[in-house]
Structure 1
């Protein structure tokens, strides 16, 4: 069953998590229901893509209203396709929420165990990873393009939570909408890094198409890394939604040849 359920034209929710854990808000936006024009039509939430900043802020306010999670409680990151994670506290609220300049620099993942904070990251093909350890009230989100994936940002989140006395078997993970294997063709340079990231005996996450060209399943690569990090298979939810295949719902950097908007992953505990 698809874990990301469409709630309205503008976002999908991780339905099973939200049903089990009151006050949790977790999901992924679509490209619909906003005010942006042209390449960024209509719900672009990325500041860094040359869209009109006024429209981006308006779009963010619309999502904040839909989620009933004030923009002043959001945090956002610069996202440099690396593996730096940051633990967030209430003192960080608002950082990167209304401008790219104020966002956390060189950061591709967040986690927190505090209420009243919405962790957000932007996407247009890369893999959004969502984490929750419900007993410890810890939540997190990470941005895993091919560089973040082979850099094992998923494993680094599990390790960071280990420092918080959270065992891998306590962690649930959802792998969100992103480019599928059919749409994501890479060269041998990328595959060399993928091979180094995979554990011995792990399932193959790529296929040779023609000489020097491979189809790469980024979602499966992250799943294999999570499994190797000790997260039980039954704790991992995986979407079937592709950001590139679905022209109606999602922006895609590869499909749209670089001129496009950004969707947003989000997760947060609402204050009681």
Structure 2
């Protein structure tokens, strides 16, 4: 069963919500955007939310406003970082609320993970094939997002995020809820020897420690290539960190297979828009 449910609307932004979490807490919002229902044109049509891909800034900001309006949040709450395919996790406090919403210059620098326990802060991060990771601690009412491309996956940003939440909020891994959102799947993600060499030690370690078939995560094919399932690698990283299997939601959406619904950097030759993941707990 698909964890991220498409919200059908005649007009407005294309949204995919995470109802299993939102049903637990009516103050929580969590989801992922599609590519439709925005104002961007040309290669970025139409709900591009990335300020770094050549689109008109005013269109990107309008798209971000459309999303916050659709989910019933003030635009001033939208808070994001300048992603660098690293593994840094930043704790967002009240003073950082709204950073990055209208310009890259104001975004939280050099971070691919964001976490907060401040109600009224809406965390957001950006994707066009990479893996969106979501974290919700219902006991301590803390949330986090992490952006995991292959580089962030190798650096185990999921583990870094879980550890940061433990340190700052007292999060217990066995109580933490995690979700893996729409992203490119192994059917569409072929990599060469350089990436294989970076991923293979991690895949082998996870397979050995969790007693699973490594081909769930990466399958070698002809010509020295491999088909990689970043979703499954990140799921196994979460399991190794102590997350319970029943507490991990895994989207089946493949951005590479579904370019009618999502932007795909790989399938569209690098010139395309970006989707957003978001999570936040509204004020009482």
| TM-score strictly above 0.5 | yes
TM-score range with shorter-chain normalisation?
over 0.9
Q: Supply the distance in 2 between the matched residues of 1:264 and 1:230 (Cα, whole angstroms).
A: 27
- Runs of at least 5 residues in structure 1 that lack an aligned partner in the other structure: none
1:189 matched to 2:189? The reply is: no
Q: Supply the distance in 2 between the matched residues of 1:45 and 1:33 (Cα, whole angstroms).
A: 12
Q: How does 1:167-182 map to 2 (within 5 A)?
A: 167-182=172-187
1:234 matched to 2:224? The reply is: no
Residues 63-117 of structure 1: per-residue CA shift (max 9 Å, x gap) = 1110111111111111000000001111111100111111111100101111000
Q: Supply the distance in 2 between the matched residues of 1:77 and 1:255 (Cα, whole angstroms).
A: 25
Of the candidates 43, 52, 56, which is equivalent to residue 52 of structure 1?
Answer: 56
Of the candidates 227, 231, 235, which is equivalent to residue 223 of structure 1?
Answer: 235
How far apart are 1:8 and its partner, in Å?
3.3
Of the candidates 161, 171, 174, which is equivalent to residue 157 of structure 1?
Answer: 161
Other-structure match for 1:212: 224
Other-structure match for 2:2: 2
Q: How many residues align?
A: 272
Secondary structure, counterpart of 1:28 in structure 2: strand
Other-structure match for 1:95: 99
How far apart are 1:38 and its partner, in Å?
0.5
- Runs of at least 5 residues in structure 2 that lack an aligned partner in the other structure: none
1:144 matched to 2:148? The reply is: yes
Other-structure match for 1:166: 171
Secondary structure, counterpart of 2:144 in structure 1: strand
How far apart are 1:16 and its partner, in Å?
0.7
Q: How does 1:18-33 map to 2 (within 5 A)?
A: 18-33=22-37
Q: Supply the distance in 2 between the matched residues of 1:28 and 1:167 (Cα, whole angstroms).
A: 25
1:257 matched to 2:269? The reply is: yes
1:268 matched to 2:280? The reply is: yes
1:64 matched to 2:76? The reply is: no
Task: Check the 8 A contact 2:140/2:170 in 1, yes or no.
Answer: no
Q: Supply the distance in 1 between the matched residues of 2:8 and 2:140 (Cα, whole angstroms).
A: 30
Secondary structure, counterpart of 2:52 in structure 1: helix
Q: Supply the distance in 2 between the matched residues of 1:85 and 1:208 (Cα, whole angstroms).
A: 32
Task: Check the 8 A contact 1:183/1:244 in 2, yes or no.
Answer: yes
Q: Supply the distance in 2 between the matched residues of 1:135 and 1:165 (Cα, whole angstroms).
A: 9
Q: TM-score, normalised by structure 2?
A: 0.94
Q: TM-score, normalised by structure 1?
A: 0.98
Other-structure match for 1:109: 113
Alignment RMSD: 1.0
Secondary structure, counterpart of 2:146 in structure 1: strand
Task: Check the 8 A contact 1:80/1:107 in 2, yes or no.
Answer: yes
How far apart are 1:196 and its partner, in Å?
2.4
Q: Supply the distance in 1 between the matched residues of 2:219 and 2:117 (Cα, whole angstroms).
A: 39
Secondary structure, counterpart of 2:23 in structure 1: helix
Task: Check the 8 A contact 1:139/1:267 in 2, yes or no.
Answer: yes
Q: Supply the distance in 2 between the matched residues of 1:44 and 1:187 (Cα, whole angstroms).
A: 29
